[in-house]
Amino acid sequence: MASIVRTSRSSMTRIGKRFANGGKALVGYIIAGDPSLEATPRLVSALVRGGVDILELGVPFSDPIADGPVIMRASERALAAGASLRKILSVAACVRREHPELPIVLFTYMNPAVRYGFEALARDAGDAGVDGILLTDLSIEEAAGYVKVMRAAGLDTIFLAAPTSTERRLRLIAEHSSGFTYLVSR
């Protein structure tokens, strides 16, 4: 379970525009590539018709430690169907063409992002129309370099805060987050 808190840094991105006037947002999540990469844009369109304001496009990962069994199985199916970060960025570009105003957050883990390369990811995600990236397992204490690269490309950086986060960590999360910050409830 998670809640979202708007942050003020991202007035230029679609995410920032969504929250600009104190607005609320329904954030929808989908694992890209489940059941197939070709089906993902149609599923996103269904989410938009259903009222989603912001899309989290999940990148399947072989060891999604922050996710429960439903997302883990969806990741397994997407990987078995041939999903990769590069292919998902192509899906994001397709979604962007279909939904030009929809804020898109790429939801992934460090391993795929490091393997792809932060600079290449920032460039290619920006080119695909992605607005922000959430690396679920990036330690906030080690995030400065990543944040610098993503912000230089105009991408929001979204981080998680938990009830157990210390005051020091919360300050770092607030400093490094743009777009919004996830408040994990458990």
Strands (E), the chain: 2-6, 27-31, 54-58, 104-108, 132-135, 156-158, 160-161, 180-184
DSSP 130-166: --EEEETT--GGG-HHHHHHHHHTT-EEE-EE-TT--
- Is 124 annotated as catalytic? no
Catalytic entry in 56, 124, 131, 156: 56
Cα-based torsion angle of the residue sequence 51, 85, 128, 96 in order, rounded to the nearest 10 degrees:
-20
Contacts with 54 (C-beta within 8 Å, 6 or more apart), sequence order = 15, 18, 25, 26, 27, 28, 102, 103, 104, 105
Which of 38, 53, 63, 67 is an active site residue? 67
Q: d(Cα 17, Cα 156) in Å, to the nearest integer?
A: 12
101 is catalytic: no
Phi and psi of 143, rounded to 5°?
A: -95, -10
Length of the chain, in residues: 186
Catalytic residue numbers, as ranges: 56, 67
